[in-house]
Structure 1
Amino acid sequence: MSDASPNSTDRQSGNSKSALTRFFGSRITWPVLGLAVVLLFNAIFIPSFFTLEVRDGQLYGSLIDVLNRGSIGVILAMGMTLVIATGGVDLSVGSVMAISGAIAALILTETQLGMLGIVPCVLFAALAAGLMNGVLVAYLKIQPIIATLILMVSGRGIAKFITGEKIITVGDDSYNFYFDFIGKGHLFGLPFTVTLFVTLFAVTSLFVRMTSLGLFIESVGANETASRASGIHDKGVKIAVYVFAAFCAVIAGLIDASNINAADTMNAGVFTELDAIFAVVVGGTALTGGRFSLTGSLIGAMLLQTLMTTLYTYGVPSDVAPVPKSLVIVAVCLLQSPVFRGQLQRLAGKGGGR
């Protein structure tokens, strides 16, 4: 005779349903599943995708390429996550990338200062860009999409002015070693870009979760008036996240310029702001602000990069690749919607009733 009573059976069943509800209701469940599906596709149709080889103590392979090329997307997505969490958006990160690369290339070709001259200049550029966006949004109450659109347009013009509207190519001089290392160096067997974004992600995550800043950001995004009434300096929080987003864009710009050994202001950072927004939304952070997930944004950025690498490996032309990419984004966003999942459950229930 079984010791289980009907009540205990019902309780276990309820607990199982509750666990499933929590699992499928999590913000990062669907991007993780999406990434798993893409990786499964590669395992079946492109087995070489998972091949790793060691050359001169360094790892090479498609998975390493995903991490390396996805570093810019992850870094931009981190800054964009905090901006979106406050209810804003930053369309200027691509232009800030172009400015960063232009400054670096100009210093390397016109001086012998190397990174000693680059670092303070690009940090000043990040501070200026972030303050401009933050002040326009926080104090002048301009809609974030308009405020950052101003720098998106003018910033690329500034970058062209810095370079004289031409591509500045950086040579292989010895004082350019550290600049080259940013985009093409290796550390612990992995591309340095991987170490860079992992370190930035870890520091940012600890800072927003181990201090009150993360709570302030979510509070401002969820209800700006209530957060101000509770003593939070909402304007300061907004300015801080826009400065951080610009800082992330500067790092991404240095990586991009280092990868090609040049400052190409026409192409540097083009559409990267859209990819960053896609990664944040796919990662489960709502555009309306409030609660955010840096981990979700990281997974979202890796999902998009893995998908694009898969498409290129499979021979999909670059002008066609954005189509399946957009379909995956739409699918993940729909599955994250409680309303859409509820409709699917109702349809499944009707089908089962027949």
Structure 2
Amino acid sequence: MDKLKNFKSSSIFLPLVALAILVIFNIIFVPGFLDVEITQDGRLYGRVFDILNRSSSLIILSLGMTFVIATAGIDISVGAVVAISGAVCCSLIGGRGDGVAEYPMVVAMIAAIATGVVCGMWNGFLVAKIKIQPMVVTLILMVAGRGIAQLLTEGQIITVYYAPFSYIGGNIPGNIIPSPIIIAILMIALVVFILKKTSLGLFIQSVGINPTASRYAGINVALIIFLVYAFSGFCAGVSGLIESSLIRAADANNAGLNMEMDAILAVALGGTLLSGGKFYIGGSIIGAITIQTLTTTMYAMGVASDQLPVVKAIVVIILCLIQSKHFREIFNKSKKNTVKAVDKA
């Protein structure tokens, strides 16, 4: 009984409830929602796997965003970094029609991820050392990043015909599980390992709660902030590989568009306060899956893509209200008053 009460009061409870409501809605109103089948080329197919597959990039972005927000920062440049990463990778592999890569794919992948890390390090340097506000710093890269991606692609959409490149966003031959899901699991495992085997998680929380006290306690605050932005860039670089592989092209205008907002929403829905401090990796993962489930549900219900942001905003506002401490206090108070009124009657 005590464990149940603790679970209900935990930060992960409400995100799970929100996700469960969406899943139940889909089971009732979306025909074949739970159907899973294996295609002729040996891939698992179904709406559930489609949601997990499409949410993988958002999950990866949310991991980095969680650390950044936990330090009382923000990174609205990750969508642009996704575009830059994809542009670097596709430019190196090349768009040769004969299906031959100009540079080895491994080299292109490493370069793309390294570019993401460099972008994160740039943000971290300006925030941690130069002391510029995180919103301003990342807004600069958010605006300039699309231009950088355009320069790398020379304003063109570079289509990659090299077949193995599609494995990153699709399936490796002989593997029925989509590669993005595997990559997301590996990224989650990396984050869990870091949090379990190092004190970094504790340092991040400390910096987010009180950076001055953390500095007096001997924590290198500037280094911690620098590292979390670098890691956010690393996550964006990995997501850029997945997003470009899904369409087998580098699209500087549309790759990663608005993904930074979905990542922030996922972290907020997961229970991490935007003011910094304690964070919840599990909640951010559930938040990312919830947002993608909502998107898939709206498409299945026939909602047009231009109307989707409005519906998503309404649902997110409702979810945030439910998670609000003030809202829950009002709800509990009204619940007690109702019980008292019933008892008197």
What TM-score, normalized to structure 2?
0.93
The one-character-per-residue Cα deviations of 1:251-293 (angstroms, maximum 9, x if unpaired) are: 1111111111111101111110000000000001110111111
Task: Report the CA distance between 1:20 and its aligned residue.
Answer: 5.8
Task: Report the CA distance between 1:296 and its aligned residue.
Answer: 0.5
The one-character-per-residue Cα deviations of 1:153-204 (angstroms, maximum 9, x if unpaired) are: 1111111111111111112xxxx34321101124642101100001111111
Among candidates 40, 43, 52, match of residue 58 of structure 1: 43
Equivalent in the alignment of 1:11: none
Question: Distance in 2 between the 1:293 and 1:189 partners?
Answer: 30
Task: Report the CA distance between 1:322 and its aligned residue.
Answer: 2.0
Paired letter, 1:92: S
Question: Distance in 2 between the 1:131 and 1:55 partners?
Answer: 42
Matches within 5 A, 1:79-94: 79-94=64-79
Task: Report the CA distance between 1:21 and its aligned residue.
Answer: 4.9
Question: Distance in 2 between the 1:124 and 1:308 partners?
Answer: 31
Task: Report the CA distance between 1:325 and its aligned residue.
Answer: 1.7
Paired letter, 1:79: G
Among candidates 303, 310, 330, match of residue 317 of structure 2: 330
Question: Distance in 1 between the 2:329 and 2:188 partners?
Answer: 34
Superposed structure 1 runs of 4+ greater than 4 Å apart: 18-21
Question: Distance in 2 between the 1:78 and 1:329 partners?
Answer: 19
Q: Is the 8 A contact 2:114 2:234 kept in 1?
A: no
The one-character-per-residue Cα deviations of 1:65-123 (angstroms, maximum 9, x if unpaired) are: 00111111101101100111111010110111111111111111176213233133223
Q: Is the 8 A contact 1:228 1:234 kept in 2?
A: yes
Question: Distance in 2 between the 1:207 and 1:145 partners?
Answer: 26
- Per mean C-alpha deviation after superposition, the further-off stretch among 270-279 and 326-335 is 326-335
1:122 aligns with 2:109: no
1:106 aligns with 2:91: yes
Q: Is the 8 A contact 2:43 2:171 kept in 1?
A: no
Q: Is the 8 A contact 1:106 1:162 kept in 2?
A: yes
Partner SS for 2:32: helix
Partner SS for 2:144: helix
1:148 aligns with 2:138: yes
1:78 aligns with 2:71: no
Among candidates 170, 173, 190, match of residue 184 of structure 1: 170
Question: Distance in 2 between the 1:156 and 1:41 partners?
Answer: 37
Equivalent in the alignment of 1:268: 255
Equivalent in the alignment of 2:9: 25
Paired letter, 2:253: M
Matches within 5 A, 1:304-319: 304-319=291-306
Q: Is the 8 A contact 1:94 1:249 kept in 2?
A: yes
Question: Distance in 1 between the 2:117 and 2:31 partners?
Answer: 45
Question: Distance in 1 between the 2:248 and 2:43 partners?
Answer: 21
Q: Is the 8 A contact 1:27 1:296 kept in 2?
A: yes
Paired letter, 1:103: V
> What is the identity percentage for the equivalent residue pairs of Structure 1 and Structure 2?
44
The one-character-per-residue Cα deviations of 1:195-228 (angstroms, maximum 9, x if unpaired) are: 0001111111121233111111111111111111
Among candidates 22, 32, 45, match of residue 48 of structure 1: 32
Task: Report the CA distance between 1:19 and its aligned residue.
Answer: 5.4
Q: Is the 8 A contact 2:299 2:305 kept in 1?
A: yes
- Per mean C-alpha deviation after superposition, the further-off stretch among 318-327 and 35-44 is 318-327
Q: Is the 8 A contact 1:114 1:179 kept in 2?
A: no
Gap runs ≥5 in structure 1: 1-15
- Per mean C-alpha deviation after superposition, the further-off stretch among 152-161 and 316-325 is 316-325
Question: Distance in 1 between the 2:30 and 2:148 partners?
Answer: 43
Q: CA RMSD in A?
A: 1.6
The one-character-per-residue Cα deviations of 1:306-350 (angstroms, maximum 9, x if unpaired) are: 111111111111122222322222222222222211101112222
Equivalent in the alignment of 1:199: 186
Question: Distance in 2 between the 1:149 and 1:207 partners?
Answer: 28
Paired letter, 2:154: G
Question: Distance in 2 between the 1:286 and 1:55 partners?
Answer: 42
1:161 aligns with 2:146: no
- Per mean C-alpha deviation after superposition, the further-off stretch among 68-77 and 50-59 is 50-59
Paired letter, 2:237: V
Paired letter, 1:313: A
What TM-score, normalized to structure 1?
0.90
- Per mean C-alpha deviation after superposition, the further-off stretch among 181-190 and 216-225 is 181-190
